[in-house]
Amino acid sequence: MRRKKSEERIYIMLHVPFFLICKIGISKNTKRRAKDVSDSIVGFALPICAVKSKYAYQIEQWMHEQLKFLNVKFHGSGKTEWFWLPALLLALPTLFLVWVSKWVIYGIAALVLLKMINCI
């Protein structure tokens, strides 16, 4: 079954107890993904941020490419998506911008709509 792009979330998880690495990936259900990852590693994965986007896959791939020098060779589910903690310096602002951009687009659309019906 093919996923709808609008249902995907790009997420960041921390590894507990080894807080020096984080995981950047996409999923429709972040809680279930965290459980699946946790079941395949020592310790567990703690989701710290998730943002819904139609472009989650493209954003994830771009971040992985930019952060490949911080990639950690790890084991378990999603083993290629683990990075040293400094990766958060790019990942968190990127997810924040993705979240803000959605609301900016909604705001512009609302202003255009109001302008069209001569409310402003």
Q: Among candidates 33, 68, 57, which has minimal Cα distance to 47?
A: 33
Q: Which pLDDT belongs to residue 6?
A: 56
Which value, to the nearest 10 degrees, does the dihedral of the CA atoms of residues 26, 32, 37, 39 take? -170
pLDDT tens column, 69-118: 999 988 877 888 999 999 999 999 999 999 998 888 878 888 888 888 87
Q: Which pLDDT belongs to residue 51?
A: 94
**Structural domain of residue 19, as residue ranges?**
5-116
pLDDT at 120 over 70: no
Q: Which pLDDT band holds residue 1 (cuts at 50, 70, 90)?
A: very low
24's enclosing H/E stretch is strand 21-27
Q: Which pLDDT belongs to residue 2?
A: 53
pLDDT tens column, 48-70: 999 999 999 999 999 999 999 99
The total of structural domains in the chain comes to: 1
Q: Which pLDDT belongs to residue 115?
A: 82
39-42: which pairs have CB atoms within 8 A and are 24 or more residues apart? Answer: 39/77, 40/75, 40/76, 40/77, 41/15, 41/74, 41/75, 41/76, 41/77
Q: Among candidates 97, 86, 102, which has minimal Cα distance to 24?
A: 86
CA distance 92 to 110: 28
pTM of the predicted model as reported, rounded to 2 decimal places: 0.81
Q: State the DSSP code for 3.
A: P
